[in-house]
Amino acid sequence: MKTLHNSQTASPPSSQDPEKIFLPLTTNLFAKLNELELIAKNIKQLSVNVPDGIEDDAKQLNIEIAFILEKLTIMRNQKVKRYFK
């Protein structure tokens, strides 16, 4: 396979029919574009279904998780101190 650089384009060897090369490539490209379109539609649908206020809920959960982690760290540090006394 020929490596492309900048503005160079691949050209099929003169012995090969361009249709046999470019038709599968084009078909594959269309399949990928259809797949991307489906993914974009799914993302759009998901964003429509996100309930209002979810960002505030996520912020509150992050605060609560940080508080819990801080408490766990304090408890662990106290346990370590007791172990080494």
3-state class (DSSP) for residue 40: helix
Q: Where are the domains of the chain?
A: 18-50, 52-85
Radius of gyration of the chain measured on its C-alpha atoms: 29
pLDDT at 69: 93
Give yes or no for a contact between 18 and 12, defined as CB atoms under 8 angstroms apart. yes
For the chain, 85 residues long, give each residue's pLDDT as a single digit of tens: 455 555 555 555 556 777 788 888 888 888 999 999 999 999 888 877 777 788 888 899 999 999 999 999 999 888 878 877 7
pLDDT at 27: 87
